[in-house]
């Protein structure tokens, strides 16, 4: 449903008149059609008569609280397709969990941010995933005129889900920009998962500069593959050893914990995440996130050898194509042009023709070129994108290919 063409009908239930007035003003300004009541006792009858698209309810109300109202809406035959969203000052995880168990589609904590509330609401109503690129380069950050369009930061991508779960992929220098964005939004009680593809410097070196790690009330789990007997916790803490960096893990104010991942299928915050070991020095993991019929693959760094190479492994490429099969988005290592790759064999990165071949074989919908060499300026990346379009055309492929820029947001 698109609020710009057909007004989404919202019914507000809250015993706080000031809050009702605020919510009404914010939503009407954003193009919603709004009705409301202060009386939770008669709310169900009023909702059934109004037949809204969305019910927004407080939790702590006399006589009939938000839990009871949510359950009643879910049991009403006339409201089976109605979206139910809790907006409450109760910040306890147990209350959010209970509301979702009773059938709520989303949980937003008060006080609301008038500048972002309508977008947050729309994200829940439309079941959107926001995919944002915070850094698209590899190896080293790049500065100067040649990086003004695509940006100069190294690997960092986020997925934000309707219930505000946040997945962060890699902690390159782009994660610092993500942190600044979250602080500017005055985001509190951030609960996020940070997936590390592998511990080479350009994928972890800005984690100590991620401001939300130093804010009490936030919670982060850092996940990735062990390197032999070296755990994820040891990998991250080692780069913050006093010899290399003046601040250690003990300075984090956020609750921070770690999980070692192997190749397989994992449940992360109720979302399925598949992992696959990649052709890259050391142990590197590719990730596939499956959510409500959509799939996003984040696969960097990996080397796809040319077919005539002595290192070519057809079995690996088959399993990789199966891993990405039918994905809505493939974000993958496309470091080199084919010509550049001739002198970079066994450096652990891929060239454009092989990336396009993989995306075509895997029948992905959208290929995102990623992890650009620091010697490549913006014009060079443009040429790689043009090469990719030509390669896909030659394959007769239906894959859509883009080269995301730093700051690009894509809704899935």
What pLDDT score does 216 carry? 93
**Cα end-to-end distance, the chain, whole Å:** 14
Please state, rounded to an integer, the average pLDDT across all residues of the chain.
94
Instruction: Report the CATH fold assignment for 9-125.
Output: Rossmann fold (3.40.50)
What pLDDT score does 37 carry? 96
Mean pLDDT of 17-26: 95
Whether the upstream peptide bond of residue 397 has omega within 30° of 0, thus cis, is: no
What pLDDT score does 20 carry? 95
Contact 72, 81 (CB under 8 A): no
Contact 402, 389 (CB under 8 A): no
Mean pLDDT of 401-411: 97
Q: Per-domain residue ranges for the chain?
A: 9-125, 130-411
Residue 1 has pLDDT above 70, yes or no: no
Kindly state the tokens that stand for 264.
């397989």
Kindly state the tokens that stand for 409.
């947001």
Largest CA distance in the chain: 75
Give the C-alpha separation, 236 to 232, whole Å.
6
- HSE (side-chain half, CA atoms, 13 Å) at 112: 25
Residue percentage of the chain with pLDDT more than 70: 99
- HSE (side-chain half, CA atoms, 13 Å) at 320: 26
The CA–CA distances, whole Å, from 60 to 15, 38, 95, 98, 108 equal 8, 12, 11, 14, 14
Strand 106-109, strand 400-402: pairing? unpaired
Residue 4 has pLDDT above 70, yes or no: no
What pLDDT score does 245 carry? 82
The CA–CA distances, whole Å, from 296 to 183, 283, 328 equal 26, 21, 6
CATH node for 130-411: 3.60.15.10
* Res. 3 pLDDT band, cuts 50 70 90: very low
Question: pLDDT tens digits for 231-288?
Answer: 999 998 888 877 778 888 888 999 999 999 999 999 998 899 999 999 999 999 999 9
Question: pLDDT tens digits for 171-223?
Answer: 999 999 999 999 998 888 899 999 999 999 899 999 999 999 999 999 999 99
Who contacts 139 (Cβ-Cβ below 8 Å, separation ≥6)? 154, 202, 373, 374
Mean pLDDT of 385-397: 98
Mean pLDDT of 117-138: 93
What pLDDT score does 93 carry? 82
Higher pLDDT, 163 or 388: 388
């Amino acid at each position: 449903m698109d609020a710009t063409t057909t007004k989404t009908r919202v019914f507000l239930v809250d015993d706080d008149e000031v809050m009702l007035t605020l919510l009404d003003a914010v939503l009407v300004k954003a193009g919603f059609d709004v009705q409301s009541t202060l009386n939770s006792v008669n709310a169900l009858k009023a909702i059934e008569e109004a037949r809204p698209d969305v019910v927004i309810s407080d939790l702590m109300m006399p006589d009939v609280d938000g839990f009871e109202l949510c359950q009643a809406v879910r049991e009403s035959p006339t409201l089976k397709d109605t979206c139910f969203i809790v907006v409450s000052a109760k910040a306890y995880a147990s209350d959010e969990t209970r509301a979702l168990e009773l059938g709520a589609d989303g949980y937003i904590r008060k006080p609301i941010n008038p500048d972002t509330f309508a977008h947050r609401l729309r994200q829940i109503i439309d079941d959107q995933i926001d995919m944002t690129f915070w850094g698209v380069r590899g190896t080293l950050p790049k500065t100067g005129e040649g990086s003004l369009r695509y940006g100069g930061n190294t690997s960092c991508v986020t997925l934000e889900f309707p219930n505000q779960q946040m997945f962060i992929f890699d902690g390159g220098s782009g994660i610092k920009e993500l942190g600044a964005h979250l602080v500017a939004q005055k985001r509190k009680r951030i609960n996020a998962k940070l997936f590390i593809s592998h511990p080479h410097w350009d994928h972890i070196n800005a984690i100590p500069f991620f401001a939300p790690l130093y804010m009490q009330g936030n919670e982060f789990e850092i996940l990735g593959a062990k390197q032999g007997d070296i755990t994820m916790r040891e990998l991250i803490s080692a780069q913050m050893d006093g010899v290399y960096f003046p601040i250690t893990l003990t300075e984090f104010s956020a609750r921070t914990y770690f999980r070692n991942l192997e190749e397989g299928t994992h449940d992360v915050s109720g979302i399925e995440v598949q992992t696959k070991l990649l052709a890259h020095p050391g142990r590197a993991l590719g990730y596939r996130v499956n959510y409500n019929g959509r799939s996003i693959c984040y696969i960097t760094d990996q080397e796809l050898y040319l077919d005539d190479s002595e290192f070519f492994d057809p079995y690996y490429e088959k399993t990789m194509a199966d891993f990405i099969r039918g994905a809505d988005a493939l974000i993958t290592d496309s470091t080199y042009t084919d010509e550049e790759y001739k002198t970079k064999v066994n450096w652990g990165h891929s060239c454009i023709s092989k990336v396009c071949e993989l995306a075509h074989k895997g029948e992905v919908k959208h290929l995102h070129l990623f992890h650009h060499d620091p010697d490549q300026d913006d014009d060079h990346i443009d040429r790689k994108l043009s090469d990719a379009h030509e390669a896909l055309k030659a394959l007769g492929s239906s894959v859509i290919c883009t080269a995301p820029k730093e700051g690009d947001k894509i809704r899935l």
